[in-house]
Each structure stands twice: as C-alpha cells, then as structure tokens.
Amino acid sequence: MFQKKKLGLLAAAATLALVAAGCGASDDTPTPDPTGTDTPAVDGPDELVLALVPSREDAALTESAKELEDFLTEEIGIPVRAEVTDSYAAAIVALRTNQAHIALLGPVGLAQAADQAGAVPVLQSIRRGVASYHTQWMTNDPETYCLDDVVEDNGLLYCNGTLEASEGPVGEEAIALIEPGTSVSFVSLGSASGYFYPATQWGEITGNDPINELDGHEAGGHDSSVLAVNSGDYPVGVSFDDARTIVLGDNPEVGENVVVFAYSSEIPNDGVVVGGDLPADLQQRITDALLAMSGDGELETDEDGRLTGEGSGGIFTLYRVYEIEGLQAVDLDAVDVARSVANNFGD
C-alpha cells in the first residue's frame, strides 16, 4: 500500500542500500562458458550482476528477472544475476562499488551513473515506436484543474487536451493553478517523470521553488502515486503516462476518480548502462546480447495495433520487466538534457 513519506525534496541524502555482495571482479583468467555453447570466452568477472529498480510494486518483476538472467547468461557466456535494488541511487552506488555491472535506469539515472560511477550508457528503450515519453499530471479535483470538459476514453478520464495529445507539454495553464503548499504525490527522488521533470516544469511555470514551496511526498512507485490520488490522499499527483492502466484492473474506481490534466515536456526513455571498468569487448557483448534479446520473439497486438500484453521470446521478457518494446543505441544528447534537469536540484 501507499505510504506517505514527506520529502525533504533532496535536502538530505537518502540512505543507500547496496545490492548483495558476492560479485567482485576476478583475475584476468578468461571466464569459461557456463552454458556449454560455443560462445567464446571473454575476460571479466566470474558473474555479472544486473541492477533493476522497481517502477511499481509488482512481484512479477522478480519472476521476469529470472528469464532475463537466463537469456543474457547464454548470450554473453558469463552467468548473469539480477538484483532488485530499492532505488536508483542504490543501483548507482552498486555500479560505483563494482557490486553491479549492468543497470537498467531512467534517463536521469543514466546521466548520474555516468557521472558518479563511470558507467557507460549504451542503449535506450523504445515504446510506442519512439524513444521518449512524458509525465502525466493527475487530479481528483477536476473542478480546479480542468479548464474544459472532462472526457472519457477506454474507461479513463482526461481534460485540457491531454486525450488528443501524443507529446507534451500540454495543459500548462492548469499546472499554473497548483498553488505553493499544495500536497503533491511524486514518485521518488531519483525518478525523471516522477519528480525531476514535473517539479522543474511547475517551477518554471510559476516562478516558485519546487523544493521548498510544494508539499511533496514520495509514493515509492508510479502505481502508488496513482492510488494516492485515487484515494484522495493528495489532490494532485504525477506518474509516467499512463500508469493508471497498471492498477485499473484491481481498482476500477481509478477510472472515475483520477483525471489526467497535463503533460510535461518529452523525456528520453530509460536505458542501459554497463560498468566502465569492464573490458571493452565485454561491454560490447552485453550490448549485443540485449539487442539480440529485443529482437527475439514478438509482442502481440490486437486488430487496432494495440499491445495485448501477450507475446513470446526475449522481447516479451523485456516487456514484462519494464514494458520495453525495443532497444536502440542511446541518444547521448537526450541524456545531456536529463542531466541538466537533474542539476536544477543540486547534488
């Protein structure tokens, strides 16, 4: 369940949890192929640890991670173990201390992993055919934040042109109505769509300081932020677009209570970093293995071309982990933009 946690909104450092030990680097002896295939041996650690950060409260992440481990182990030729960390910051610490060698991170996390841990961003996720997304602003108070009629589509509510828009920003006149002191459900301090981008957007629109002038609370997950708005705990919340679908099945009242009223500007999708201390050929092998995974199998669609949530092969595993529909080479310019947004909030 959603837990209220008052943010010191980046005023104090969080305690960083490290992933489990036992994955230190080995000597330079080539690692034997544990799969019994003809995959050539490569210098590097005896085991590769992949750090994952949950984007929602979902035990299925652990199950999908096992399939991720198996596929990558066979492709790379070194055992891969997935570890679910409790935050982006913990994953970055794990990279910095060589307790993790690969991480799937949000756009701000990609920049921070490069800057703080010497990691190398290599890949970027694709969803809906594009490599960007946006924050959605949600409310249970449409009388205040909807400047036009609320409209319904597929059981979900929208206003201020958000239903028709495929990109942000949208509805910034409504964001301007969020007064200082308003209680807002953010996702987590390290989340681009769940904190950095929407907080920056509100600050730029209103001329106020989001760190000190919003009553921000950390939901812990995008689904939890939706539920916080649904329950009435907060009049306004943020999440990625459209996190409502994650919880709608078990919480049908979300379709009646939670209205999307604005979008942020576009945010580069999450992606993959590899440890900067890994040999270059191993970095490339990891990159190639993930690309092979994204090209293995298919995601099923209905007659209208919409994903059904079913599929097969490696791409279906990636979809179940983070709803990844494909992977491509990272856009370092987009990561630079994410870095500049995060820098608004200090170290």
Q: Please name every residue paired with 271 in a beta bridge, in sequence order, or none if there are none.
A: 105, 124
Give the CATH number of domain 132-267; options: 3.40.1190.20, 3.40.50.280, 3.40.190.10, 3.40.190.80: 3.40.190.10
| Domain ranges within the chain, ordered by starting residue | 48-130+269-343, 132-267
Range ranked top by mean pLDDT from 44-48, 89-93, 118-122 = 118-122
More confident residue, 192 or 74: 74
pLDDT at 192 over 60: yes
Which pLDDT value is given to residue 191?
87
For the chain, the average pLDDT equals 87
Q: Reduced to 3 states, what is the DSSP secondary structure of residue 137?
A: strand
Model-level pTM? Answer: 0.72
Q: Return d(Cα 320, Cα 311) in angstroms, integer.
A: 10
| Angstrom distances, CA of residue 129 to CA of 77, 166, 179, 189 | 31, 12, 36, 28
More confident residue, 1 or 255: 255
Q: Reduced to 3 states, what is the DSSP secondary structure of residue 128?
A: coil
Q: What percent of the chain has pLDDT over 90?
A: 72
**CATH no. for 48-130+269-343:** 3.40.190.10
Mean pLDDT of the region 204-226: 95
pLDDT at 54 over 80: no
Q: What is the pLDDT of residues 23-53, one digit of tens each?
A: 333 333 334 444 444 555 667 899 999 999 8
Q: Return d(Cα 229, Cα 234) in angstroms, integer.
A: 5
pLDDT at 335 over 50: yes
Which pLDDT value is given to residue 103?
97
Instruction: Among 70-79, 167-176, 187-196, 326-335, name the one with the lowest average pLDDT.
Output: 187-196
Q: Do domains 48-130+269-343 and 132-267 have the same CATH topology?
A: yes
Q: Is 191 exposed, middle or buried (0-12, 13-18, 19+ CB in 10 A)?
A: buried
Mean pLDDT of the region 111-132: 95
Q: How confident is the model at residue 190 (pLDDT cuts 50, 70, 90)?
A: confident
Give the pairing type, strands 259-263 and 156-158: parallel
Instruction: Among 58-72, 94-108, 189-203, name the one with the lowest average pLDDT.
Output: 58-72
Mean pLDDT of the region 154-158: 96
pLDDT at 278 over 70: yes
Closest-CA residue to 322 (of 54, 1, 19, 133): 54
